[in-house]
Chains A and B, each alone.
Chain A
Amino acid sequence: MRNPRIESGSGVIVQGITGRAGRMHTVRMRNFGTNIVAGVSPKPDVLEIGGVPVFATCREAVLATRANSSVLLVGAEQLLGAIEDAVHAGIKLIVTPTEGMPVHDALRARRLTQEAGVTWIGASTPGMAVPGVAKLGFLPEAALSAGPLGLMSKSGTLSYEAGYRLTLRGVGTSVWVGVGGDPVKGTYFSELVPFYASDSQTEALLIVGEIGGREEEDFAEALMAQRFSKPVFALIAGRSSPEGVTMGHAGALVHGSYGAYTSKKAALERAGVTVFGSLDEMTSVIARWHASRPHG
Chain B
Amino acid sequence: MVRLRKRALLPAWLRRAVLGWFDARYISRADHRQDIKDALWEVQTLGREVTALRAEVDRLRAQVAKATPEQAQVRRWDDAHRLAQETAAAMEHVLQNEVLLWQAADQALGRRGAGAP
Partners in one complex: no
User: Hey, which bits of chain B sit against chain A, CB under 8 A?
Assistant: none
